[in-house]
A and B are shown apart, each in its own frame.
Chain A
Amino acid sequence: MTITATVNGKAVEFNGEGDTPLLWALREELGLTGTKFGCGIAACGACTVHVDGQPTRSCSLPIEAAAGKAITTIEGLKHADGTLSAVQQAWIEVQVPQCGYCQSGQIMAAAALIAKNPHPSDADIDAAMTNICRCGTYLRIREAIHRATGQAAQAVSGGAA
């Protein structure tokens, strides 16, 4: 059976079984490997994409449930002219990633938060950012979200002296 959807602005067809998680359809059928497999049970958020604008853990969404939806992955987050989005740019300026494996999901979660709430407080960030980072980049994630939204960090995350 063929399922159609829009991925990063382009119409696509998925040909796998309808219960195939969107994550594996994106990675193995479309070759969009920026979206990562972490746990398979929607617990870690490494696979976060936007489905009709909502942050969604793609490891646990069957493609039949994504039919007709507009999906955005990390590869589709740049502006149309190829420049980085504000969130991605902030991630570089603050030097957030370490191993980087969870960061596609972190960035997609942050972008969705900012789209809904252009000036999130630390409490808003705590509530929205539930993705796991084993390298422990959380303080810089907080700082980068504030940077992306033009706010000074509300808490000083530290500082080499």
Chain B
Amino acid sequence: MKIGRRNFLYGGLALAGAGVFGVRWSDHHARAAASAATVAAGEGGFTVWLKIAADDVVTVYSPHIDFGQGSHTGLAQMAADELDADWAHMRVEQAPAIPGFATVELAQGFLPQVMGDGARHLPKALVAMLARNFPMQLTGGSTALRFTGQMAMRAAGAAARAALVEEAAERLGVPAGELTTAASRVTHARSGRSLRYGELAEKAAARSLPENPPLKTAKDFKLIGQSVPRMDIPAKVDGSAQYGMDIHLPGMKVATIMMAPVRGGKLTGVDDKPAMAVKGVEKVVRLDDAVAVVASGYWPALKGLRALSPQFSDGGHGTLSSAAIATAQDQLRAAGKPDKKHGSGDVAAALAGGRKLEAVYRAPFVHHAMMEPFAATAHFKDGKLELWIGLQDPLATRTMAAKAAGIGFDDVTLHTLIMGGGFGRRFPDKCQIIGQVVALAKAVDGPVKLIWSREEELRHGTYRPQVSGGMAAALDGAGKLAAWRMDYVQSEDSEAETRFPYQVPATARQHFQYQSNQDDGPLRSVNSNHIGFFNECFMDEMAHTAGQDPYKFRRAHLPEGSRHAKVLDAVAEKAGWGSPLPAGHGRGIALVESFGTIVAEVVEASVGADGAPVVHKVTVAVDCGTTVNPRNAEAQIQGAVVMALSMALGEEITLDKGAVVQSNFSDYPLLKLAGAPATIAVHFLDSGAEMGGIGEPGVPPTAPALANALFAATGKRIRQLPIRDQASLRS
């Protein structure tokens, strides 16, 4: 989750308090509109989240968009479990992009995480008013199941079940207490009579639903915890799934674009003629910081664009480079004036009095590299805009598109499409394509689809920022940590979302604010990504300084019986920590909590004959409280580990003269199948604690566990990512 989102929520609360927040949609009005848009005659709509048709089919409306995380199926499992529905009758549809389907429960769940526990007591009506009038419909922050699932879908299922039982009791003339529900039927066992949900739904939905229906406890779960097959997969194996890239409309034009190579630069001039000479090209459109070519198809548009020689300014960033950023960050840290200080205890005294170690860690800009490049289709006609796009917040997209078009929110219709990856790249406030496609739609007659080439997608990312961390720690006489300090330099303070899990008498986390010309973005696991690397590698250094085993050293700093200790113990046991390894192999361990989930990993690695690291096996222990769909959760963790290995081993965006050096997968190499470890064994500890996320938390422990494994194998300490750029690891 990105700070912009958080500021938005804070800002919204402040505005609401001041009475200046415009309320356009009352809760009642928004929900009524949502039902009108989704529930037909003969069907019963319960809350806005699910409906039951006469043929017993239950449709769940997901406000979250599928981009690989599998949450559509998980949300349906959670609703169906409380509803006692037959799984064969369950369907999931994407919720329309209207305020009645705003992610109210996400806002409700997320606020305490950024504002503290006090926010748990905010009235739901206030949060709902904010979420609907922002309006927000967010997919991100590993929140779909733990917030929308836990608070919206389960409650909707339970409320619908209660109403179905009441309706059946009246029809059968028996007390509700004598009725049971299972497999989409209400049954009166004593008389042997039963009614299908489909027969009851329309009338049941007209009853007043319980506001806070009792929910099942874990022992009664029938679907939560089951590895049911994902509903989205069949359409993804026969080519029928429709992504934003796949929209085709009659008379549609296709455009492609080139933005100022240096972020912050402007278009200063371009001669149309070379593009207009290309067969199929219809128009060259000048934007403030880009030039686009509109044509009959993508190929002529691309040929036309390549024929142009546009001139761009550099926004004053023409001397910026990755090396210059590293130097500027070091100077900021050396100046010793942090923008934010967190932690407690007298760190300076403890560092001065103990056995002290210092080191500087660095992580580069890293790109999301979603497999589907940006594509958006827009049609502007008679003051109305229609949009087809897949982004991580359709309602915020509508707001931004309306602003770009100079029309009202209600004059924008948005069709939400699934996304070919995202990983944090598709938050609307980071998506230049919204303004671009609106400008093109206003410049041409009929619909137009804008497709970014992979080169534009790679060079105009909102990267995980280039970051450095100055680490310092000291040991007391007993070989335990007496002090721990991290001085990190990046654009934002990460304190609210990262957590140092170890017990140390004196700690300091000092944020030094640095902003390059880039628009730093949230990338899968966000700040925990690089902060986890700094902390967990330096923890390894301190273990070795103390002459202790890295697992036992960590363990000695965790409270006995804590969730963190249990997860660490589990991964050590499952990985066979301490057991013999083939010559040249090493094991590394790391533990990071993010998005409410605690993950520990052990990586087994060696160095190949060519000096490149080889990852043999990754063992993962996960405590996310409750696992809704273990097989999908396993896939999310395995995928996160593979992505994190790819980033750690070879990914780096560098700047030169203010512009991104890399251009495509040819010089920004991603891990392929041959480089993936043979085994990623995932173990879930179903602790029953408050549910955590699953999409992101597998990322952060991977890079440090790998770097620590390579230290164990070679004796060479890695303090900079990617590992590819270290001197040969071969001893």
Contacts of A130 in B (CB 8 A): 672-674
Whether a CB of chain A sits under 8 angstroms from the CB of B372 is yes
Task: Say how far B635's CB is from chain A's closest CB, in angstroms.
Answer: 6
Whether a CB of chain B sits under 8 angstroms from the CB of A52 is no
Question: CB-nearest residue of chain B relative to A136?
Answer: B642
Contacts of B630 in A (CB 8 A): 160
Q: Which 4 A-B pairs have the closest CB atoms?
A: A34-B239, A136-B642, A101-B420, A100-B236
The answer on a CB contact under 8 Å between B419 and A99 is: yes
Q: Which of B302, B372, B682 has the most CB of A within 10 A?
A: B372
The answer on a CB contact under 8 Å between A127 and B674 is: yes
Whether a CB of chain A sits under 8 angstroms from the CB of B232 is yes
The answer on a CB contact under 8 Å between B678 and A122 is: yes
Whether a CB of chain A sits under 8 angstroms from the CB of B731 is no
Whether a CB of chain A sits under 8 angstroms from the CB of B435 is no
Q: List 17 A-B contacts (CB under 8 A).
A: A16-B299, A28-B298, A33-B246, A33-B248, A38-B454, A44-B665, A88-B238, A92-B237, A99-B420, A130-B674, A131-B672, A134-B370, A136-B639, A138-B642, A139-B638, A157-B678, A160-B634
Count of chain B residues with a beta carbon within 8 Å of a chain A beta carbon: 79
Contacts of A129 in B (CB 8 A): 672-674
Say what secondary structure dominates the interface of chain A.
Answer: loop
Contacts of B640 in A (CB 8 A): 136
Question: CB-nearest residue of chain B relative to A28?
Answer: B297
How far, in whole Å, are A84 and B237 apart by their CA atoms in the complex? 9
Q: Which of A46, A97, A156 has the most CB of B within 10 A?
A: A97
Whether a CB of chain A sits under 8 angstroms from the CB of B69 is yes
Contacts of A96 in B (CB 8 A): 233, 237
Task: Say how far A34's CB is from chain B's closest CB, in angstroms.
Answer: 2
How far, in whole Å, are A32 and B238 apart by their CA atoms in the complex? 11
The answer on a CB contact under 8 Å between B279 and A17 is: yes
1/0 per residue, CB under 8 A from A, across B405-428: the answer is 000000000000011111100000
How far, in whole Å, are A61 and B510 apart by their CA atoms in the complex? 54
Whether a CB of chain B sits under 8 angstroms from the CB of A135 is yes
The answer on a CB contact under 8 Å between B679 and A95 is: no
Which residue of the partner chain, among A88, A98, A126, contacts B635 with CB atoms under 8 Å? A98
The answer on a CB contact under 8 Å between B673 and A125 is: yes
How far, in whole Å, are A159 and B237 apart by their CA atoms in the complex? 23
Which residue of the partner chain, among A35, A103, A132, A160, contacts B665 with CB atoms under 8 Å? A132
Question: CB-nearest residue of chain B relative to A38?
Answer: B371
B positions within 8 Å CB-CB of A = 66-70, 227, 229-230, 232-243, 245-246, 248, 254, 279-280, 297-300, 302, 369-373, 418-423, 451, 453-455, 574, 627, 630-636, 638-643, 646, 664-666, 670-674, 676-684
Contacts of B642 in A (CB 8 A): 136, 138-139
Task: Say how far A42's CB is from chain B's closest CB, in angstroms.
Answer: 10
The answer on a CB contact under 8 Å between A40 and B237 is: no
Contacts of A140 in B (CB 8 A): 635, 638
Question: CB-nearest residue of chain A relative to B235?
Answer: A100
Task: Say how far B231's CB is from chain A's closest CB, in angstroms.
Answer: 11
The answer on a CB contact under 8 Å between A95 and B673 is: no
Task: Say how far B590's CB is from chain A's closest CB, in angstroms.
Answer: 18
| Residues of chain A in range 70-108 having any CB-CB distance to chain B below 8 Å | 73-75, 77-78, 84, 88, 91-92, 95-104, 107
Task: Say how far B581's CB is from chain A's closest CB, in angstroms.
Answer: 18
Question: CB-nearest residue of chain B relative to A91?
Answer: B237
Whether a CB of chain B sits under 8 angstroms from the CB of A142 is yes
Whether a CB of chain B sits under 8 angstroms from the CB of A55 is no
Contacts of B682 in A (CB 8 A): 158-161
A positions within 8 Å CB-CB of B = 16-17, 19-21, 24, 27-28, 31-41, 43-44, 46, 73-75, 77-78, 84, 88, 91-92, 95-104, 107, 122, 125-127, 129-142, 155-161
The answer on a CB contact under 8 Å between B280 and A98 is: no
The answer on a CB contact under 8 Å between A39 and B635 is: no
How far, in whole Å, are A104 and B369 apart by their CA atoms in the complex? 18
Task: Say how far B622's CB is from chain A's closest CB, in angstroms.
Answer: 9
How far, in whole Å, are A16 and B298 apart by their CA atoms in the complex? 11
Contacts of B67 in A (CB 8 A): 99
The answer on a CB contact under 8 Å between B679 and A155 is: yes
With A16-B297, A157-B680, A160-B227: A46-B371 Cβ-Cβ less than 8 Å? yes
Task: Say how far B92's CB is from chain A's closest CB, in angstroms.
Answer: 15
With A17-B300, A31-B248, A101-B371: A37-B451 Cβ-Cβ less than 8 Å? yes
Question: CB-nearest residue of chain A relative to B372?
Answer: A101
Question: CB-nearest residue of chain A relative to B297?
Answer: A28
Q: Which of A19, A77, A135 has the most CB of B within 10 A?
A: A135
Q: Which of B235, B239, B635, B670 has the most CB of A within 10 A?
A: B239
How far, in whole Å, are A158 and B684 apart by their CA atoms in the complex? 12
Contacts of A142 in B (CB 8 A): 673
The answer on a CB contact under 8 Å between B238 and A141 is: no
With A33-B242, A36-B372, A160-B631: A98-B681 Cβ-Cβ less than 8 Å? no
Contacts of B421 in A (CB 8 A): 99, 101, 134-135
Besides A20-B299, A130-B673, A135-B371, 12 new A-B residue pairs in contact (Cβ under 8 A), listed by A number: A16-B297, A41-B665, A43-B666, A75-B239, A92-B237, A95-B632, A99-B372, A101-B420, A129-B674, A135-B68, A135-B421, A137-B639
Question: CB-nearest residue of chain B relative to A128?
Answer: B673
With A28-B297, A101-B372, A134-B370: A92-B229 Cβ-Cβ less than 8 Å? yes
Contacts of B672 in A (CB 8 A): 129-132, 138
Which residue of the partner chain, among B235, B254, B451, B684, contacts A161 with CB atoms under 8 Å? B684
Task: Say how far B627's CB is from chain A's closest CB, in angstroms.
Answer: 8
How far, in whole Å, are A34 and B671 apart by their CA atoms in the complex? 24
With A38-B371, A139-B680, A158-B679: A99-B299 Cβ-Cβ less than 8 Å? no
How far, in whole Å, are A41 and B454 apart by their CA atoms in the complex? 9
Question: CB-nearest residue of chain B relative to A140?
Answer: B635
Task: Say how far B302's CB is from chain A's closest CB, in angstroms.
Answer: 8
Contacts of A78 in B (CB 8 A): 238
The answer on a CB contact under 8 Å between B248 and A28 is: yes
Contacts of A139 in B (CB 8 A): 638, 642, 676-677, 679-680
Which residue of the partner chain, among B238, B454, B635, contacts A95 with CB atoms under 8 Å? B635
Task: Say how far A125's CB is from chain B's closest CB, in angstroms.
Answer: 7
Contacts of A91 in B (CB 8 A): 233, 237
Contacts of A28 in B (CB 8 A): 248, 254, 297-298
Which residue of the partner chain, among A17, A95, A136, contacts B631 with CB atoms under 8 Å? A95
Task: Say how far A53's CB is from chain B's closest CB, in angstroms.
Answer: 19
How far, in whole Å, are A159 and B74 apart by their CA atoms in the complex? 19
The answer on a CB contact under 8 Å between A103 and B299 is: no
Q: Which of A44, A98, A103 has the most CB of B within 10 A?
A: A98
Question: CB-nearest residue of chain B relative to A29?
Answer: B297
Which residue of the partner chain, among B69, B372, B674, contacts A98 with CB atoms under 8 Å? B69
Which residue of the partner chain, among B299, B632, B664, contacts A21 with CB atoms under 8 Å? B299
The answer on a CB contact under 8 Å between B684 and A160 is: yes
Which residue of the partner chain, among A27, A92, A125, A158, contacts B233 with CB atoms under 8 Å? A92
Contacts of B240 in A (CB 8 A): 34
Task: Say how far A76's CB is from chain B's closest CB, in angstroms.
Answer: 9
Question: CB-nearest residue of chain B relative to A154?
Answer: B678
Contacts of A161 in B (CB 8 A): 574, 681-684
